Structure 1
Amino acid sequence: MYDFTHHRPASVDAAVAALTGADDGKIMAGGMTLIPTLKQRLASPSDVVDLGAIAALKGIKEEGGAIVIGAMTTHAAVAANATVKAKIPALAHLADGIGDPQVRNRGTIGGSIANNDPAADYPAGLVGLGATVVTNKRQIPADDFFTGMFETALADDELVTAVSFPVPEKAAYAKFANPASRYAIVGVMVSKGPAGVRVAVTGAAPCVFRLAEAESALGGGFSADAVGKVKVSSDGLNSDMHASAEYRANLVSVMLKRAVAAAG
């Protein structure tokens, strides 16, 4: 990797100051994407701002009818947390299916959503549950946070500090995983709760998206039979060495039915 200056601030304000003071600074959460990128010399930032020492960014709490998860909370911590398992078991299930144990014990929810990999699980979790992303500057609805492949609504000097999930009446996540990486070839989160009926799809397209036809069908009755006739177009879906667009379109329908059945 190329030389860079490493910062390990103890507060969000110090992290923002280090980031804005750098010529070309990068934030590091768990490092699951950034470190391999640096090692392969695909990036050469002047500074790396490591968030690992900021205790305020870690932890899970129940607050105002929602589950609030700090940005530096690992996937393993989300999967094992008793409150998450009791209130939003679908979210615990999603976190427990990310990568392998090494990834789950290093990767963080904030790092995952800020990176917005098109095959990541958490974008479907946030959009499918109607979550809100909390930053050092504002609160951003999940529907507005993910803007494109590896792109989000975050400004250059903005950090994710937490994610707030409203507790649904019912929810489930179903994923067809790549057997090597465990990334989602297609993943579908469904929920019914304070944010209404929501269906979010990851892995199938360049960015997470909601499936409006499925939401309408489930609005008339939350059952696998209700979405039995929902067809997904392959237009605009990803096509690569792992799966064609047509295959992914069919997988969305299959994972949708499985998720609804699990939630119901």
Structure 2
Amino acid sequence: MIPAPFDYIRPASLEEACGVLAEADASGDDVKVLAGGQSLLPLLRLRLAYPAALVDLGRLPELHGIEDRGDHVFVGALTTHDEVLRSGLVREQIPLVALATATVADPAVRHRGTFGGSMAHADPAGDLPAVALALDCVFVVRSGEGEREIPAAEFFVDYLESALGPGEVLVGVRVPKLGPGWGYHYEKFHRTAQAWAIVGVAAAVRRAGETIEEARIGLTNMGPTPVRPRVVEAALRGLSSPPAGDDGAHDRVRDACGQADSGTSPPSDLHAGPDYRRHLARVLTHRAVRATAG
């Protein structure tokens, strides 16, 4: 289909972009921000979205790049998935981001889609929001009134709805470095390589010897927002994660991961019903934890 008519605005600076968005909010106009366009353009084409104007941020240099900032890595909102994958800094310091990004759609989408755009779109079936939640990322946003920070636990509000306010632009994401002793894995179940996850699990586990000292889990597509099953994280803490052969210890890890669907509200669609997604969450969480902890 052909999109409905809209005005096209390409601001020359971040300040101008914030001003345009603030004016649109004051006048009541529906204005959408265009980053990579990999999520927005299909909605426009199907006329599921018909804004009065698009504000294209694609050429704002301050929104690009990946920087080492001591205790965290700062990923600019307009950094493409491909740039994230090719970054040695990402692979070395925040490897869970690299693992999940490698599963995003296909190479064509990864060359155009952006790190910040996929977050701001707030699709619970997206791979990266669950990673941001598990890693306690912080979202840096700016408006005409200044800059503020939003923790990942507060950023994803509802289905396709983030905490970005009127006139605010996502500048980038602070991804904490977890340091030595951590293992990482992203487990995803989907129909084809290009499809959204039916269920995905982002896992980070810190061990001391054969004991799990800390676990962080993020679930994809198990509710209207990404889910962090803290009951699983608490149940895993202190458990032994030994080599193959200790069936009792492995059973305890499996039982802990079997609580992954607790308190979730998975959707029902053409690909899976809620019960099947709950089953996948339990199985995939166990796989992800075993992959990180041995």
Per the normalisation by structure 1, the TM-score is 0.93
Residues 240 and 227 from structure 1, CA distance in 2 versus in 1: closer, same or farther, beyond 3 angstroms?
A: farther
Matched, 1:90 2:96: yes
CA RMSD of aligned residues (A): 1.8
Matched, 1:216 2:234: yes
Shift of 1:235: 6.0
Residues 207 and 5 from structure 1, CA distance in 2 versus in 1: closer, same or farther, beyond 3 angstroms?
A: same
Gaps of 5+ in 2: 207-213, 242-248
Please give the secondary structure, in 1, of the residue aligned with 2:198: strand
Matched, 1:21 2:29: no
Q: AA paired with 2:163? A: A
Structure 2 counterparts to residues 105-254 of structure 1, below 5 A: 105-136=111-142, 137-168=147-178, 169-179=182-192, 181-192=194-205, 197-221=215-239, 223=241, 225=250, 226-229=252-255, 230-231=258-259, 232-233=261-262, 236-254=265-283
- Answer with 240-249 or 167-176: which moved more: 167-176
1:135 and 1:158 in contact (8 A); partners too:
yes
1:97 and 1:182 in contact (8 A); partners too:
no
2:229 and 2:262 in contact (8 A); partners too:
no
2:85 and 2:98 in contact (8 A); partners too:
yes
Shift of 1:233: 4.4
State the alpha-carbon separation in 2 of the partners of residues 14 and 49 from structure 1: 10
- Over the matched positions of the two proteins, sequence identity in percent amounts to 39
Please give the secondary structure, in 2, of the residue aligned with 1:190: strand
Per the normalisation by structure 2, the TM-score is 0.84
Structure 2 counterparts to residues 62-77 of structure 1, below 5 A: 62-77=68-83
Please give the secondary structure, in 1, of the residue aligned with 2:123: coil
State the number of aligned residues.
262
For 1:105-148, what per-residue CA distance to the aligned partner results, in whole angstroms no more than 9, with x for missing partners? 11111111111112100111100111111111311110111111
